[in-house]
């Protein structure tokens, strides 16, 4: 550190210069994050100093966390679901598998997950000492449910399905997985970190949530399609009591026990997540999602006109293509299989899609 502090103006000119090195979201087509909704930013500012790790000191903020869990639980068709606000999908997935592991005491525990799963499961399995059994995908990049049964044995503590895969934006056959989970008596965790804030707002949503009796827990991220500030995730469980198995004693806090992974936890991004849900309501979210899906369809149509076929027809707003050219100035990403991947987040407006297509046309010319 400096011996003597830096003048505020110099400091902020330094910080601003660093901030200018960041890319604006304008040309970013590769991210599952998006600029926060204005009400999220406004709410965040009000709750800057709040710490949900010591909820007795911040009962108002803690009530907002309860409201977030209740709203998302209701969205997942289980108003009395258990849950808490996590730092995102990674923490939610780790905690879900921790609960599953606690519920079944076996010598060499394993989890059965689709090959399309997010890399957070690699971390979770490493931390929790779980063998990761990877189930292959079908031709449309969904978990091959025919194969699932063969991967489950007496040491399987959890089965995982994904709603809105990170790479291809497809939804695993959760209804089928839920049947298998009931049949084999296995904990089913649904990773809806991305799709949880998309699928419920589609015209004809496929059931993937607590309506299916086999579903045990769900990850859902307000900091992706929920347009909250970062970090805002949520883990929901069918039975609120399941979190008790994660409790540790917290002698010097206002609560005696906590089940969260993080200790000090931001209230600001939780208030921001609540703000967006309250402000937009179902109607507003449907409009946002309808716009993103429409832009996804337009992008696919435009790319196919140039001779770049879709890799799959996505269930959510992620488009993938057989295309190895990228117009300069744009950020797109590439999947493990080498497909171009574009996430049509709210900042990827129709206008942005059209500009991108014009630039794609130009590199072909």
The correct pick among 36, 53, 55, 88 for binding ligand PLP (CB under 6 A) is 88
Q: Which is nearer to ligand PLP, 190 or 360 (CB)?
A: 190
Rounded CA-CA distance 360/232 in Å is 34
Tokens at 335, concatenated: 């999947």
Chain-centre distance for alpha carbon 88: 7
Considering the rule CB under 6 A, would residue 169 count as an interface residue with ligand PLP? no
Cα 132-116-180 angle, rounded to 5 deg: 65
Rounded CA-CA distance 127/121 in Å is 10
* CA 7, 9, 10, 12 torsion-angle sign: positive
Residue 131 phi, psi dihedral angles, 5° rounding: -75, 130
The correct pick among 82, 89, 214, 314 for binding ligand PLP (CB under 6 A) is 89
Q: Stretches 64-72, 122-130, 191-199, 278-286: which one binds ligand PLP (CB under 6 A)?
A: 191-199
Within 38-57, which residues bind ligand PLP (CB under 6 A)? none
Q: Stretches 14-22, 85-93, 307-315, 354-362: which one binds ligand PLP (CB under 6 A)?
A: 85-93
Considering the rule CB under 6 A, would residue 194 count as an interface residue with ligand PLP? yes
Q: Which helix (H) or strand (E) holds 291?
A: helix 268-305
The correct pick among 32, 67, 246, 262 for binding ligand PLP (CB under 6 A) is 32
Q: Stretches 187-195, 206-214, 310-318, 334-342: which one binds ligand PLP (CB under 6 A)?
A: 187-195
Nearest distance in Å: CB 220, ligand PLP? 10
Considering the rule CB under 6 A, would residue 315 count as an interface residue with ligand PLP? no
Of 321, 323, 359, 362, which Cα lies nearest the Cα of 343?
321
End-to-end CA distance of the chain: 54
Q: Which is nearer to ligand PLP, 171 or 360 (CB)?
A: 171
Q: Which is nearer to ligand PLP, 50 or 269 (CB)?
A: 269
Considering the rule CB under 6 A, would residue 341 count as an interface residue with ligand PLP? no
User: Strands 156-162 and 110-114, how do they pair?
Assistant: parallel
Considering the rule CB under 6 A, would residue 173 count as an interface residue with ligand PLP? no
Q: Which is nearer to ligand PLP, 327 or 346 (CB)?
A: 346
Site map 213..252 versus ligand PLP, x via CB under 6 A: --------x-----------x-------------------
The number of residues that bind ligand PLP (CB under 6 A) is 14
Considering the rule CB under 6 A, would residue 61 count as an interface residue with ligand PLP? no
Q: Where are the alpha helices (DSSP H) in 223-267?
A: none
Tokens at 212, concatenated: 């299916």
Tokens at 113, concatenated: 């997950």
The correct pick among 90, 216, 237, 295 for binding ligand PLP (CB under 6 A) is 90
Considering the rule CB under 6 A, would residue 310 count as an interface residue with ligand PLP? no
Chain-centre distance for alpha carbon 25: 19
Tokens at 20, concatenated: 């200018």
Considering the rule CB under 6 A, would residue 167 count as an interface residue with ligand PLP? no
Q: Which helix (H) or strand (E) holds 340?
A: strand 340-343
Within 113-132, which residues bind ligand PLP (CB under 6 A)? 118, 120
Considering the rule CB under 6 A, would residue 68 count as an interface residue with ligand PLP? no
Considering the rule CB under 6 A, would residue 191 count as an interface residue with ligand PLP? yes
Q: Stretches 10-18, 88-96, 254-262, 312-320: which one binds ligand PLP (CB under 6 A)?
A: 88-96
Name the CA dihedral angle for 346, 352, 356, 358, rounded to a multiple of 10 degrees: 150
Contact between 124 and 95 under an 8 Å Cβ cutoff? The reply is no
Residue 126's CB: how many other CB atoms inside 10 A? 11
The correct pick among 34, 50, 166, 228 for binding ligand PLP (CB under 6 A) is 166
Of 94, 167, 182, 99, which Cα lies nearest the Cα of 137?
167
Considering the rule CB under 6 A, would residue 36 count as an interface residue with ligand PLP? no
Interaction site with ligand PLP (CB under 6 A): 32, 88-90, 93, 118, 120, 162, 166, 191, 193-194, 221, 233
């Amino acid at each position: 550190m400096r011996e003597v502090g830096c003048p505020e103006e110099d400091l902020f000119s330094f910080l601003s210069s660093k901030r200018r090195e960041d890319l604006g979201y304008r040309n970013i087509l590769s991210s599952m994050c998006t600029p926060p909704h204005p009400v999220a930013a406004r709410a965040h500012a009000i709750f800057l100093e709040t710490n949900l790790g010591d909820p007795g000191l911040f009962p108002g903020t803690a009530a907002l966390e309860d409201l977030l869990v209740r709203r998302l639980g209701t969205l997942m068709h289980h108003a009395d679901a258990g849950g808490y606000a996590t730092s995102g999908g990674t923490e939610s997935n780790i905690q879900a598998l921790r609960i599953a592991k606690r519920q079944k005491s076996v010598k060499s525990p394993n989890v059965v997950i689709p090959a399309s799963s997010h890399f957070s499961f690699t971390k979770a399995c490493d931390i929790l000492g779980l063998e990761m059994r990877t189930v292959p995908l079908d031709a449309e990049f969904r978990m091959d449910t025919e194969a699932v049964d063969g991967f489950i044995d007496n040491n399987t503590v959890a089965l995982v399905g994904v709603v809105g895969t990170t790479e291809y934006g497809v939804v695993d056959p959760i209804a089928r997985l839920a049947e298998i989970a009931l049949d084999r008596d296995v904990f089913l965790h649904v990773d809806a970190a991305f799709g949880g804030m998309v699928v419920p707002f589609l015209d004809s949503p496929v059931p993937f949530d607590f309506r299916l009796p086999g579903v045990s827990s769900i990850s859902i991220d307000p900091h992706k399609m929920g347009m909250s500030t970062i970090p805002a995730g949520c883990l929901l469980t069918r039975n609120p009591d399941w979190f008790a198995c994660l409790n540790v004693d917290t002698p010097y806090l206002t609560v005696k026990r906590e089940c969260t992974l993080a200790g000090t936890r931001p209230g600001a991004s939780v208030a921001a997540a609540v703000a967006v849900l309250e402000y937009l309501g179902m109607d507003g979210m449907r409009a946002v999602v309808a716009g993103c899906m429409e832009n996804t369809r337009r992008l696919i149509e435009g790319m196919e006109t140039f001779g770049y076929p879709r890799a799959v027809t996505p269930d959510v707003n992620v488009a993938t293509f057989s295309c190895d050219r990228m117009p300069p100035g744009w950020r797109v990403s590439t999947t493990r299989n080498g497909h171009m991947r574009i996430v049509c987040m709210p900042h990827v407006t129709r206008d942005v899609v059209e500009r991108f297509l014009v630039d794609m046309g130009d590199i072909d010319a």
